[in-house]
Amino acid sequence: VSADAREYGNSIKYITQLTEKYGTDLIGTTTAFAKFKAAATPAGIAVAEQERIFANVSKAMASFGISGGEAALTMLAITQMMSKGKISSEELRRQLGERMPVAMQAMANAAGVSLSQLDKLLKDGKLRSAEVMGKFSDELAKLSGDTSTDNLEASIGRLKNAFVSLADSLNIYGNFKALVDRVK
């Protein structure tokens, strides 16, 4: 989903740094970022803004201990908001709010309205994702507080990512595939 090889390389570097910082799964985070980028680019959101939004959401997920399948579902909700062009109750309240208790308040703060006014905006479909997602991600980061990644889960995530990087650099997957193909 990158415009060119340079942007792709920058995205890989960005994801690697982000996963190292929060100890999140490299493969899952890369997949989630690619999908988010595919939804955010047509919405006219610049690459730097995409990265800032994604980093803020990643920080909030790390703060709430969201990982694995729950992290994938959280990013799916964010991606759906971007791809639809508007924020709906389904993604915000049901998909995101269940995993991040501060999501509704963060969105209300981002839109500059009360929670009851937010409900009306959601119901009327008047909350445009391209206009509010940056502010929303800033509010999520703020409301999720300090993120400690000095824990066992983050350390295990970093170790797993180191093995993935080692396997890539040694072309283990390619060599194993070639072996399987020869055996077949």
pLDDT tens per residue across span 55-103: 999 999 888 888 888 888 999 999 999 999 999 998 999 889 888 989 9
pLDDT digits (tens, 9 = 90+) for 16-46: 999 998 888 899 899 999 999 999 999 889 9
pLDDT above 90 (res 105): yes
Q: What long-range pairs does 41-50 form, CB within 8 A, spacing at least 24?
A: 41/1, 43/82, 43/85, 43/129, 43/130, 44/130, 45/82, 45/130, 45/133, 45/134, 47/7, 47/10, 49/134
Taking the model in full, what pTM does it have? 0.82
pLDDT in the model for residue 172:
87
Q: pLDDT higher for 176 or 35?
A: 35
How large a percentage of the chain has pLDDT more than 90?
A: 56
Burial of 95 (0-12, 13-18, 19+ CB in 10 A): buried
Please state, in angstroms and as integers, the Cα–Cα distance from residue 36 to each residue in 66, 126, 153, following that order. 18, 21, 24
CB 181 within 8 A of CB 175: no
DSSP letter at 128?
Answer: B
- Is residue 49 within 8 Å of residue 138, measured between CB atoms? no
- Distance, CA of 83 to CA of 43 (rounded, Å): 8
Tell me what the pLDDT averaged over the chain comes to: 90
pLDDT at 2 over 80: yes
CA-to-CA separations, 147 to 22, 35, 72, 157, in angstroms, rounded: 9, 25, 19, 15
